[in-house]
A and B are shown apart, each in its own frame.
Chain A
Amino acid sequence: MAEVTLSNVSKAFGKTQAVSDISMTIGDGEFVVLLGPTGAGKTTTLRLISGLEKLDAGSVHIGGRDVGQDTPAQRDVAMVFQQYSLYPHLTVRDNLAFPLRSPILKTPEDEIARKVHEIAEVLQIPHKLDNKATELSGGEMQRVSIGRALVRDPSIYLMDEPLSSLDAKLRADLRVELKRIQAELGSTLLYVTHDQVEAMTMANKIGVLEEGRLVQFGTPKEIYEDPVSVYVASRLGLPRINILPSGLFPGAHKGAQIGLRPENIRQGDGVEARVVRAEHLGDQTRLHLDVQGHAITTLTDPHRTYSSDAMIRISPQNPLYFDAQGARVA
């Protein structure tokens, strides 16, 4: 395991600037999640670290060594792809053994057998080892491709939305399992996702990408509580943060916009709000409100009932202030 540092990394494809000027350090043993919508440059960042794409500018250091000119094999990274990751002509066993048999690792066969079995146990696929890769279900395929990375002990694991093709239950199970394995092995891991639950639950640090730029890098708590912009604030939290003109609330004039997370709205006094709809989810109730034509979502006591069009009063609690362009001002 090793520390990985990106310094002013940029990459363009034709006229599209996929990644611009990203600098960050993934500490040894850290689980870092890159968060952002499709096209934000998450996958390109992974591919630049792995060496599948050449840098236009900047540098990548793995364990203190500049790997700019190294081939992917020389960089000693393991990667889990979003799709197409298993070699269809090989069995599950051979797929898992494939990286260990590489000319760089040249692992003895008895050790390969031991490691493959160990990983198969962790991923709950020991009975599938002799199946052809093509005979697996989607979930099994993806577990094997995660396994193919985990059999190795590389400088860094790179994972590109490895859980996105799985069903909800398996996804939740593997999320916990992956975090446990990473913590146990002390692995350095860079994980790409657009799923905020994965980001919040697994990450030591989250990097938020917007159109190829790293707009904020910090712990999940920092990103959630102290976002630098409306964009970052909107990445995390469900229901999403309410962004409203600050003129809506008396006394709130630090910026043009006010950001209110659903849990940061207090009921009782303040401005008048009309109840549009109450959604009972069992553990919580989402209350959709209307304040002078602006939609607001908040959370409320699951045992309380609201009649439609009821009027309540709300006031902000620990609000975030943004300027007109969406940058955080207070």
Chain B
Amino acid sequence: MSSYSVTEPSRRMKWVAGVLVIAYALITMVPLAWIALTGFKSPADAISYPPKYIIGSDSEAGFQPTLEGYVNLFTTRTRQTPEFLDANPPETWADDIVRQYGMVIVGPSKFGERFLNSVIIGFGSTFLSVFLGTLAAYAFSRFKIPLADDLLFFILSTRMMPPIAVAIPIFLMYRQLGLSDTHLGMILLYTGVNISLAVWLLKSFIDGIPTEYEEAALIDGYTRFQAFYKVVLPQAATGIASTAIFCLIFAWNEYAFAVLLTTANAQTAPPFIPTIIGIGGLDWPAIAAGVTIFLLPVMFFTILLRKHLLRGITFGAVRK
């Protein structure tokens, strides 16, 4: 008898699919791997040609890993006279690294601050977008709202032009309102951009949750709001998780508004990283180190929510 089945792919199909997925994953990983490697190179190795990509090898393609990029990323340094260097022996391993260039560490760089700003603004606006988006989506999904379709279209239309098209008006408004270069200002701005996406995504998820569950909870003695957070929210977890990831990725990577609206106080990492200048031009290892660290929070956030994303695939199976 043939083992052909409509629902279960054959072994060979699975194998081919597996190879394709792995190949695709490897291709998309190459730039990330390159950035991660560059972070551990010396400035000279970073720009050498032919490129060096084997860690710790003496061959032509090999390089000796160094934490120079990371030290440069987190510190500010000044050049000193040989007399000064002789009089002040290095105290830490980081001192040792910068001594090769005749420099001493004079203090931390702005990177830590900028990174923290990114965390506050990125996660703050994600939380706010998802929080408001869930409430709005629930209302749109469950209640008869006059002109609901028009309102939804209007909400979506805020996404139809490139955000930068309104950069100048926003810049002027923010200056008037005192929101320029503030965390609150950036959180509100990113929330404003993300909320349309959040409402639309979440509405479709909540539409998929049968109203019988809430009605059962209402009859079981719960209020509308209690039914919402005890019954609807747990079932919308998949949608909330994926929406949160989309919102975070946008807010985290946003560059144009960050350049325009932030300078000293609330500047996020994206406009800061390209400005890292080393000796004789851009300090590529430090920039790569900054990008590597910058990628980690989104990566961890996605891994953290992965359980919910995967659950979404099997979610539909429970209904009759």
Chain A: residues with CB nearer than 8 A to chain B?
Answer: 50-52, 71-73, 77-79, 81, 83-85, 87-89, 98-99, 102-105, 133-134, 138, 141, 148, 152, 165
Contacts and interface: CB of A to CB of B under 8 A. Distances in A.
A83 B320 contact: yes
B221 A103 contact: yes
A85 B216 contact: yes
A99 B221 contact: yes
Contact of A77 (B212, B219, B231): B219
A98 B220 contact: yes
A79 B215 CA distance: 9
A34 to B, nearest CB: 18
B318 A85 contact: no
Mostly helix, strand, loop or mixed at chain A's interface? loop
Contacts of B221: 73, 99, 102-105
B265 interface: no
Contacts, number: 68
Given A88-B318, A165-B320, A103 B216 contact: no
Given A73-B218, A89-B234, A134-B318, A81 B212 contact: yes
B220 A102 contact: yes
Residue of B223, B224, B234 with highest tally of chain A CB at under 10 A: B223
B226 A79 contact: no
A148 B212 contact: no
Given A52-B215, A83-B212, A138-B320, A88 B220 contact: no
B166 to A, nearest CB: 41
Interface string B111-139: 00000000000000000000000000000
Contacts of B213: 84, 87
B280 interface: no
A85 B222 contact: no
B319 interface: yes
Residue of B215, B317, B319 with highest tally of chain A CB at under 10 A: B215
Interface string B304-320: 00000000000001111
Interface in B175-227: 210, 212-213, 215-224, 226
A128 to B, nearest CB: 15
A200 B318 CA distance: 34
A103 B218 CA distance: 11
Nearest to B235: A89
Contacts of B218: 51-52, 71-73
Given A84-B213, A98-B220, A102-B220, 4 more contacts: A52-B218, A73-B223, A87-B216, A104-B221
Nearest to A104: B221
A103 B235 contact: no
A263 B157 CA distance: 70
Contacts of B216: 79, 81, 85, 87, 148
B210 A87 contact: no
B107 to A, nearest CB: 51
